[in-house]
Amino acid sequence: MENRAQHNPSVTVRNVSKTFDRVHALRNVSLEVKKGEFISFVGPSGCGKTTLLRLIAGLEKPTSGTIEISGEDVSNRAPYERNIGLVFQNYALFPHKTVAANVNFGLRHRTRLAATEREQAIDEALELVRLRDYGQRRPSELSGGQQQRIALARAIVTRPEVLLLDEPLSNLDAKLRDEMRVELTELHRALGLTFVYVTHDQAEALSMSDRVVVLRNGQVDQVGSPQEIFERPDSIHVAAFIGQGNLLSGTAGMRREGLLDFRLEQGSIVQAYAPPTIQSGARAWLLIRRNGATVHSAAENIARDLKTAIAGKVRAVLYQGLHVEVHVELRGGARMRVEKPAHGSERVALGDDIFVNVLPAGTWVLADDQGE
């Protein structure tokens, strides 16, 4: 994705903590969101991502620390004093008002535009979400995707400094979610606004964002580009959560031609990418992405002389359309999942003895103490 972020931060979170009835929702979080950036907060339920967004929005106040927008401390300001737009997962449209009246709501309360100027702004906002001719309809006359676009139009019509989106696509079906991902990225490019996006969907975060913030237990675990988060996780938690990769324990070996020999618990040695901090002989974990390995029959393995293949038995084969997900029990009892093309030349079936060939490009080694 094109990085349109600039140097001036739109949002600065400084040493923010939030406690609810002795429960620590956030612990000393600091973060800068650059102007014009699309940044996503992801993590498991209860990690603090929605709390962080609500603090930026002014819907909650921090127990300690400060929130700045455009360099101004807004920690104690109401939401309408923060120059933000808000989009919720339940749309929050007024059912008795027309589409135009819903979009006009923020304009009337946050600007001093004349009536003709407001009408022009409403038309422009509806044009941006491709619903210009829907101004006189009621929300009940619209589909879920159209209602979500109206909620977006209402949030952007005032041209806020920051647009905050709290799982806005979670109520849509799979096809509409895919369409809205594209529309959101196009809208971001067209407006140049700062987008702060909360989602539990990794695919949304990876496909739309300039940067991704992974939270765990109220703290920031890693911040980076989607590629960095996916390919070079900083912790075992990030590796397990993003992309749902396989984690196998073992011991780091010698480095050869930029790759590390990694000995798995069951004795097999595979080659993998590893940061320079991983020392030979150290206990470590090997991350193998589901598309970072290939599956072969015993006969094919011998024919190809795949020296880094791992022996295993097929325990499940799940058809996923374009690919199948093969669940493999390795010698020693460890399990892993591998994706292979659904219509490849070689088929595998439940109970087959097979070999998994690990591709270095789909690997990353993490120290034994890098997270849980």
Domains of the chain: 9-236 (3.40.50.300), 244-367 (2.40.50.140)
Quote the mean pLDDT of the chain.
Answer: 89
Neighbours of 286 (CB within 10 A): 24
Contacts of 229 (CB under 8 A, 6+ apart): 206, 212, 214, 222, 238, 242
- φ, ψ dihedrals at 302, nearest 5°: -65, -40
Confidence label for 167 from pLDDT (cuts 50, 70 and 90): very high
Confidence of residue 2 (pLDDT cuts 50, 70, 90): very low
Confidence of residue 6 (pLDDT cuts 50, 70, 90): very low
Q: What is the pLDDT of residues 196-247, one digit of tens each?
A: 999 988 889 999 999 999 999 999 999 999 999 999 999 999 998 888 789 9
Find the mean pLDDT for residues 59-78. 96
Closest CA to 162 of 82, 80, 60: 82
pLDDT at 10 > cutoff 50: yes
pLDDT one-digit tens code per residue, 319-343: 988 899 999 999 888 999 999 988 8
Whose structure tokens read 């580009």? Answer: 225
Q: How many residues does the chain have?
A: 372
Average pLDDT (98-107) is 90
345: confidence class by pLDDT, cuts 50, 70, 90: low
- pLDDT tens digits along 189-198: 999 999 999 9
Concatenating the DSSP letter of every residue in 130-155 gives T-GGGTTS-GGGS-HHHHHHHHHHHH
Please, is 164 exposed, middle or buried when counting C-beta atoms within 10 Å of its C-beta (0-12, 13-18, 19+)? buried
Q: Would you state the structure tokens that stand for residue 321, as one six-digit string?
A: 């359309």
What predicted TM-score, i.e. pTM, was given to this entire model? 0.89
* pLDDT tens digits along 107-132: 877 667 888 888 999 999 999 999 98
Task: Tell whether the model's pLDDT for residue 99 goes beyond 50.
Answer: yes
pLDDT-based confidence at 347, cuts 50/70/90? confident
Please state, as a whole number, how many other Cβ atoms lie within 10 Å of the Cβ of residue 88: 16
Which contacts qualify for 172-178: CB closer than 8 Å, 24 or more apart? 172/144, 172/145, 172/148, 173/144, 176/144, 176/145, 177/201, 177/204
Percent of the chain whose pLDDT exceeds 70: 93
pLDDT at 300: 61
